[in-house]
Amino acid sequence: MLGGVHSHSHAIDARRGDSRRRMWIALAINVVLLVAEALGGVLTGSLAVLADAGHVLSDVGSIGLGLFAATLAGRPAEGRMTFGYQRSEILAALLNGLLLVAVAVAVAVAAVNRLGAPPDVEAGGVLVLGLLGLAGNLAATLVLARGQREDLNLEGTLRHSAADALGSLGVVFAGTVILAGGSTIVDPLVSLVISALILVSSWQLIAEPVGVLMEAAPAGFDVEAVGAAICAEDGVHSVHDLHVWTVTAGFGALAAHVVAERNVDRDLVRRRIELLLHERFGIDHTTLQMEEDVEEALLRVENAGGEG
């Protein structure tokens, strides 16, 4: 299976390279948007624009964190880091999820404080900035969405960008309402909606990395089906201590104790199981401990003692 492991490693490296390229493009777009919205929010007095600028700032931070994690994850294994630094991608995704929650709370608090006395807002400027932000965020989101979505690190930056696109849509709505003569209270109300959308987008981004760190089986992975498939192999009596987990996105691992039947070539059985796991379940990193059927072994010992 050495060739399969090498090709699997090359596939992960190629995925990381593609993700890095997409994140650099998204970072450039977001830096331009950050400068425009931060200045525009101050000049127009719009909390919705400033809230969106705050989310863009979190986007810049999340993309920078994602790029750092992707680079770190590509480092080879060394010393105590026997799996290398691949989990850095998972940690970056978790931190991005927590950062989204912090941004959502900050926006909600500021919006609630403004509900009682909403300030005057320059509606025309708000509308222009909202349209600019929407165009930029949609462009960044499309670039990221065309990447390999199983990459949690990329998914983290994508969710930031998608939530920001929704935020920009809210800014456009607020600017349009105020420009049409509506109350400026729509500005903090839209900010509250943006906050709620950010919280929703952060949930999966927190839940999935936590699942990986808790060494849960990959999402949608049927562990019982794997065990049944192994037991169905010729020469296998049973399997126990079956563990399936994710090291990082696209890198599943499996360990199990396989009880072999009497008078079979255990190495051959193990190689057949490794091929099965690769072809049917996409798992290339396996640790299989081949054991002899205890009952049969005891029976042989008893028979040998009786003959003596």
Range of the domain at 174: 2-213
Q: Are residues 133 and 199 in the same domain?
A: yes
Among candidate residues 213, 248, 281, the one where a domain is terminated: 213
Q: Are residues 110 and 58 in the same domain?
A: yes
Q: Are residues 252 and 187 in the same domain?
A: no
Q: Are residues 167 and 241 in the same domain?
A: no
Cβ atoms within 10 Å, residue 264? 16
Write down the pLDDT at residue 296.
55
261 falls within a domain:
yes
218 falls within a domain:
no
Q: How many domains does the chain have?
A: 2
Q: Are residues 149 and 286 in the same domain?
A: no
Among candidate residues 213, 234, 268, the one where a domain is terminated: 213
Q: Give the integer Cα–Cα distance in Å for 229 and 283.
A: 13
Q: Are residues 64 and 162 in the same domain?
A: yes
CATH code for position 209: 1.20.1510.10
281 falls within a domain:
yes
Among candidate residues 162, 180, 213, the one where a domain is terminated: 213
Write down the pLDDT at residue 1.
46
Q: Are residues 60 and 186 in the same domain?
A: yes
Listed as own residue / partner, the contacts of 169-173 with beta carbons closer than 8 Å and 24 or more positions apart are: 169/130, 169/134, 170/48, 170/52, 170/130, 170/194, 170/197, 171/46, 171/48, 171/49, 171/52, 171/126, 171/129, 171/130, 171/133, 171/134, 172/127, 172/130, 172/131, 172/134, 173/130
| Sequence-separated (6 or more) residues with CB below 8 Å from residue 81 | none
pLDDT in tens, the chain (308 residues): 444 445 556 677 677 778 888 888 888 988 988 888 888 878 877 776 777 777 677 778 778 877 887 787 778 778 888 777 878 878 888 887 888 788 788 878 878 887 777 766 677 877 887 888 888 888 888 888 887 766 777 777 787 778 778 777 877 887 788 888 888 788 788 878 878 877 877 787 788 888 888 888 887 788 999 999 999 999 998 999 999 998 876 788 899 999 998 888 999 999 999 999 999 988 888 999 998 766 555 555 455 555 54
Q: Are residues 248 and 152 in the same domain?
A: no
Q: Are residues 96 and 232 in the same domain?
A: no
Write down the pLDDT at residue 8.
53
| Sequence-separated (6 or more) residues with CB below 8 Å from residue 219 | 208, 211
Q: Are residues 186 and 289 in the same domain?
A: no
Q: Are residues 147 and 174 in the same domain?
A: yes
Cβ atoms within 10 Å, residue 183? 10
CATH code for position 258: 3.30.360.10
Q: Are residues 135 and 237 in the same domain?
A: no
Write down the pLDDT at residue 5.
46
